[in-house]
Amino acid sequence: MGTDSRAAGALLARARTLHLQTGNLLNWGRLRKKCPSTHSEELRDCIQKTLNEWSSQISSDLIREFPDVLECTVSHAVEKINPDEREEMKVSAKLFIVESNSSSSTRNAVDMACSVLGIAQLDSVIIASPPIEDGVNLSLEHLRPYWEELENLVQSKKIIAIGTSDLDKTQLEQLYRWAQVKPNSNQVNLASCCVMPPDLTAFAKRFDIQLLTHNDPKGVLTVIIPQMLDIIPEASKRLSVIVTTAETRHFIDEEMEPQS
């Protein structure tokens, strides 16, 4: 293991939170000769490159400080939204939950996304289904803590609208009946559904919920983050990791769309 890796390992072993910002994925793509074949491969590549470049730039001052929160970013890959163009943009984020007890990180993730993009508010946030044990069906109880935090963010005007991902009609109805801030959208994975289920379509139409499609691999960060931490064996297993990634005009974790 090189000096850079040893320094990064020592910092990660002491830190409690890692904020990893890959910046614009397309900036990394311009540096690659071979295009990734999947979203998972692209995201894994960018996380790896960001971690490697950050490790090579660790200062002696940072090593002496041993901060609880590490900011792992590469400045040339980060792009903020031009304030003059903000009103013409719809900025959306998708929140992927890695650990079942990480609802407290929801606000941190939203704050970090806004900071990275240089904006005060997200137009919408879609939450991916939180991880559950094998053989257990997703229920309202699994969603409740994350949705309550998103509702708080709507009330504090950090987010305008919130939505869900991969909920069937029963799950979406349970959330809608309980929630104070109603979901305005629900994503359906193209890999598992070629045609929208009629009962889901009817419910969404009745309550004005927009049905969207996506092709995000299931549990993509659940696999990638443990692999990332295994790269540096000293990394603490209690480390809380928040990853922010972006693509111009179309993001994986955040997306900017021109408004019609």
pLDDT digits (tens, 9 = 90+) for 64-115: 888 888 888 877 767 788 899 988 889 988 888 876 555 667 888 899 889 8
- Range picked from 40-49, 126-135, 160-169 for highest mean pLDDT: 160-169
Question: Residue 159 is inside which H or E element, if any?
Answer: strand 159-165
| H runs (alpha helix) in 72-168 | 105-117, 140-155
Show the DSSP H helices in 132-241 as ranges: 140-155, 169-178, 198-206, 220-231
> For residue 174, what pLDDT band results from cuts at 50, 70 and 90?
very high
The dihedral formed by the CA atoms of 192, 202, 211 and 143, expressed in degrees to the nearest 10: -80
Relative to beta strand 210-214, strand 185-189 is: parallel
Extract the tokens encoding 19: 């904020």
Q: How far, CA to CA in Å, does 208 sit from each of 94, 203, 204? A: 20, 8, 6
Q: What pLDDT is stored for residue 36 in this prediction?
A: 59
Per-residue pLDDT at 203 exceeds 90: yes
What does pTM read for this prediction? 0.77
Indicate the DSSP class of residue 135: T
